Amino acid sequence: MPELRRDPVSGEWVIIATERSRRPHDFRKSEESDSPKPERLDTCPFCPGNEGLTPPEICAFREADSLPNTPGWWVRTVPNKYPALTEAGDLNPRRVGIYTAMHALGTHEVIIETPLHNQHPATMPPDQWQEAIRMYRERALSLQRDPHFQYVLLFRNHGKPAGASLEHPHSQLTALPFVPEVVQRKIDGIMRYADQRGGCLYCDMLAQERDSGTRVILENTHFMVFAPFASRYPFEVCILPKHHAAHFAQEPPDVHRVFAATLQEVLQRLARILDDPPYNYMIYTAPVNLEHEPLFHWHLTLAPRLAVPAGFEMGTGVYINIVAPEEAAEYLRNTATKRE
Amino acid sequence: MPELRRDPVSGEWVIIATERSRRPHDFRKSEESDSPKPERLDTCPFCPGNEGLTPPEICAFREADSLPNTPGWWVRTVPNKYPALTEAGDLNPRRVGIYTAMHALGTHEVIIETPLHNQHPATMPPDQWQEAIRMYRERALSLQRDPHFQYVLLFRNHGKPAGASLEHPHSQLTALPFVPEVVQRKIDGIMRYADQRGGCLYCDMLAQERDSGTRVILENTHFMVFAPFASRYPFEVCILPKHHAAHFAQEPPDVHRVFAATLQEVLQRLARILDDPPYNYMIYTAPVNLEHEPLFHWHLTLAPRLAVPAGFEMGTGVYINIVAPEEAAEYLRNTATKRE
């Protein structure tokens, strides 16, 4: 059973998940194949006809006459076969001398974004992508309602250097019984700002980015897209709602439709400029089921994985970014794509 | 000129270093060659005879009749050609609305650990490795004396997946005018522990690890080597002095000699078990030139890069580690190597 462990010095938590353990030999390097991808792969657990290779589905958008765990779906959510979090039991914290540990309670789901193995999030039909994002919302809303959880994280790993182990387009969803440190630090910063200056830090950032313009990539009815001032990663992108809203999942459908189109536009521009780079994106949203609703302003952060954080980053926490966000924004601003 | 920027939400700092900037095209993927390495490479800036390809040397252990920046050295320290930190000017902090920036003042040096291109830290002659570690000490001591700096970080990136851009064996040394966040958080944890329980957290950790034994890899006259309880990385290793000492560089020569042998033993075991894995190691040591000497207990952390931190780690700060430290320690404990 995976276990949460706290570093007694820094206070940071890690998950020890030995269910996914490998032998030393399995870590040895192997060559990556770069052959063209087929529409369907017999061995891919996310391809139609292979539904039996995943745990039973949690939710699927599928044809009315199709049965669960058979073809006929266009977006499908399943439990992660090798979850980092477990749904069974209690937190069961234990102390051993200076150390603290507890069970890694939570859920870990996979959203299969399309039945077609060789589709790409940047270029799949917009209707299909809209449906994938609709599933993000459905699943996030569902998990938020569970009082055991305090945080729901949606993220996507694209490409092997970004940690994707399967190439069939998919995102992941985790629900945690605590507010993770990265989010808590954001909340702390937001609270500090509100105390000192009044108002929402992200709303003020939006206004300042618009005034300055140098880091703006695009702006539409609902979103401001820009390269963050303190980008950790080359070509890092932030998609920020122009209205103040704490929860991604509680946005109305029209906001989600514009969000899907905006995200796909960003992915297209990145794919064009950087030749389909590996990337991660994370949707940062407000915690749920706390006694007090914290101030938050949800947003998506996209981090292309073009550089390797190394000893310096690990030793200091300070990231070295070799592309100024102003330069990245200029490239991404001037590479508008035509919508089909 | 590189620039430090602070994330206004999390309070974290990044360095924007456009001197190393590349065009989008240059980020495109290339194939890694795996051909056998020669003893000397005409194009390698760290090979003897190519001293003109680096900035002029800062310090070298070299034959008495040899001239600076010519062959005849066995360990050589040069400024990083593409430094992330700059020695010129002042911090010059500036605020623009919600943002804060300042110059990334500091130094960034490269320690070339051997003249032989194809030597490997795990297997080079122990005498040579001792000399490399002696250079670590010399340079760290020298930089600590500069009152502009508050922190000196020694680190090593080994292998391309760990961020090494040149394969010739080398380490890096940076000096910073502030205490970086990762270190500050360690200090905060150490202080909290001392307040609550009295005594040094690392000294108590050492005692507990010895009692438990399950995570111990080896112990010798001066060091305890173990897999940390909350390891973020598979096969993560900590080398901790058994005596309480704040500063790596201020250890006497005999401690450094044992340290060099201990580190090389760990590198040998890792290379044997994991087929020369990519890794980073960082030497965490006390800040310098502060008004009050903080409690600290220096140590080395070695992080093999066998897994890719991805969306989950970035979204939460919680690392998923697929090898329990107890299991890693068992492998590393039972793979003792013979000293030549």
- Percent of chain A past pLDDT 70, that is, above it, reads 89
Distance from CA of A64 to the nearest CA of B (A): 34
Q: How far apart are CA A214 and CA A48, in angstroms?
A: 45
- Please list every residue in chain B whose beta carbon sits closer than 8 Å to the beta carbon of residue A151: 316
Residue to mutate among A4, A9, A20, with most B CBs inside 10 A, is A9
Q: Which of B117, B158, B168, B170 is catalytic?
A: B170
CA atoms within 13 A on the CB side of A257: 5
Compute the Cα dihedral for A61, A116, A236, A306 and give only its sign.
positive
- Contact with chain B for residue A285, Cβ under 8 A: no
Q: For the residues A289-311, what does the mean pLDDT come to?
A: 91
- Whether residue A275 and residue B232 make contact (CB cut-off 8 A), yes or no, is no
- Whether residue A312 and residue B153 make contact (CB cut-off 8 A), yes or no, is yes
- Contact with chain A for residue B315, Cβ under 8 A: yes
**Option in B14, B303, B317 nearest A181 (CB):** B317
Strand, helix or coil for residue B82 = coil
Give the Cα-Cα-Cα angle B131, B133, B136 (nearest 5 degrees). Answer: 115
Residue to mutate among A308, A327, A330, A334, with most B CBs inside 10 A, is A308
Task: Answer yes or no: are the C-beta atoms of A153 and A171 closer than 8 Å.
Answer: no
Distance from CA of B25 to the nearest CA of A (A): 7
- Whether residue A16 and residue B325 make contact (CB cut-off 8 A), yes or no, is yes
Q: How far apart are CA A139 and CA A131, in angstroms?
A: 12
Strand, helix or coil for residue A77 = strand
- Contact with chain A for residue B177, Cβ under 8 A: no
> Has residue A117 got a pLDDT over 50?
yes
The closest alpha carbon to A275, from B230, B112, B26, belongs to: B26
> Has residue A279 got a pLDDT over 60?
yes
Place of tokens 């890899």: B217
Judging by beta carbons within 10 Å of its beta carbon (0-12, 13-18, 19+), is residue B160 exposed, middle or buried? middle
Looking at residue B5, its pLDDT comes to 57
A183-196, pLDDT tens digit by residue? 998 998 999 899 99
The closest alpha carbon to B121, from B285, B305, B262, B273, belongs to: B262
- Whether residue A315 and residue B284 make contact (CB cut-off 8 A), yes or no, is yes
Q: To the nearest whole number, what is the mean pLDDT of chain A?
A: 88
Q: For the residues A125-151, what does the mean pLDDT come to?
A: 96
Distance from CA of A216 to the nearest CA of B (A): 16
**Option in B9, B176, B306 nearest A201 (CB):** B9
Residue of chain A nearest B280, judged by CA positions: A311
Place domain B181-307+314-333 in its CATH homologous superfamily: HIT-like (3.30.428.10)
User: What is the count of residue pairs from A and B with beta carbons less than 8 Å apart?
Assistant: 278
Q: Would you call B247 a catalytic residue per the annotation? A: no
- Please list every residue in chain A whose beta carbon sits closer than 8 Å to the beta carbon of residue B309: 163
Q: How far apart are CA A219 and CA A217, in angstroms?
A: 7
Q: For the residues A68-95, what does the mean pLDDT come to?
A: 87
Residue of chain A nearest B161, judged by CA positions: A308
- Taking only residues 156 to 175 of chain B, the set having a beta carbon closer than 8 angstroms to any beta carbon of chain A reads 156-157, 160-164, 172, 174
Q: How far apart are CA A163 and CA A185, in angstroms?
A: 24
- Whether residue B12 and residue A230 make contact (CB cut-off 8 A), yes or no, is yes
Q: For the residues A277-292, what does the mean pLDDT come to?
A: 94
* Length of chain B as a residue count: 340
Confidence of residue A29 (pLDDT cuts 50, 70, 90): very low
Looking at residue B7, its pLDDT comes to 35
- Contact with chain A for residue B190, Cβ under 8 A: yes
- Taking only residues 204 to 223 of chain B, the set having a beta carbon closer than 8 angstroms to any beta carbon of chain A reads 204-205, 208, 212
- Contact with chain B for residue A321, Cβ under 8 A: yes
Distance from CA of B16 to the nearest CA of A (A): 5
**Option in A99, A176, A189 nearest B229 (CB):** A99
- Whether residue B230 and residue A5 make contact (CB cut-off 8 A), yes or no, is yes
Q: For the residues A156-162, what does the mean pLDDT come to?
A: 95
Exposure string for B257-286, b = 16+ CB within 10 A, e = fewer: bbbbbbbbbbbbbbbbbbebbbbbbbbbbb
- Contact with chain B for residue A200, Cβ under 8 A: no
- Contact with chain A for residue B103, Cβ under 8 A: no
Looking at residue A28, its pLDDT comes to 41
Looking at residue B30, its pLDDT comes to 45
Q: For the residues A63-73, what does the mean pLDDT come to?
A: 97
Q: For the residues A141-167, what does the mean pLDDT come to?
A: 94
Residue of chain A nearest B284, judged by CA positions: A315
> Has residue A4 got a pLDDT over 60?
no
A213-248, pLDDT tens digit by residue? 999 999 999 999 999 989 888 899 999 999 999 999
End-to-end Cα distance, chain A: 47
Residue to mutate among B1, B6, B12, B16, with most A CBs inside 10 A, is B16
- Whether residue A11 and residue B189 make contact (CB cut-off 8 A), yes or no, is yes
Looking at residue B34, its pLDDT comes to 56
Looking at residue B329, its pLDDT comes to 94
- The predicted model scores a pTM of 0.91
| A44, two tokens | 């891919």
Distance from CA of B40 to the nearest CA of A (A): 25
pLDDT in 10s for each residue of chain B, 340 residues: 445 555 344 443 445 545 444 445 444 434 444 578 899 999 999 999 999 999 999 999 999 999 999 999 999 999 998 888 877 777 778 888 988 888 888 899 999 999 999 999 999 999 999 999 999 999 999 999 999 899 999 999 999 999 998 999 999 999 988 898 889 989 989 998 999 999 999 999 999 999 999 999 999 999 999 999 898 888 999 999 999 999 999 999 999 999 999 999 999 999 999 888 999 999 999 999 998 877 899 999 999 998 899 999 999 888 888 888 898 999 999 987 655 4
CATH class of B3-21+36-176: alpha beta
Looking at residue A16, its pLDDT comes to 53
Strand, helix or coil for residue B4 = strand
Looking at residue A164, its pLDDT comes to 93
- Contact with chain B for residue A191, Cβ under 8 A: no
CATH class of A106-340: alpha beta
- Contact with chain A for residue B153, Cβ under 8 A: yes
